[in-house]
Amino acid sequence: MHPHGRKFSKLGFLRFQTSLYDTTGDFMAVLFPPTAQLKAKYVYKNCVTVPYYWMLYVLDMVGIRKSK
């Protein structure tokens, strides 16, 4: 295996990253951030759009969608 080559698939890398958390609560705190943190990152005003911005957050975290 080449030292600079890919070592994980996307799914394998996500599994590896989740195994680094000490507790399930730590993992959930990263997966479901406080609403204030989402507001600071995405700057929205309507609380009805929280699920939409949470999905953007998850896609950014997974690496499917590039952050602004």
Does a structural domain hold residue 42? yes
10-42 per-position pLDDT tens digit: 778 778 888 888 998 888 888 888 888 889 988
Look at residue 68 and tell me whether its pLDDT is greater than 70.
no
- Per the structure, the complete domain to which residue 46 belongs is given by 34-68
Instruction: Domain count for the chain, please give it.
Output: 1
Does a structural domain hold residue 25? no
Q: Give the predicted TM-score (pTM) of the model.
A: 0.63
> Where does residue 21 fall: left (phi above 0), alpha (psi -120 to 50 degrees), or beta otherwise?
beta
Does a structural domain hold residue 61? yes
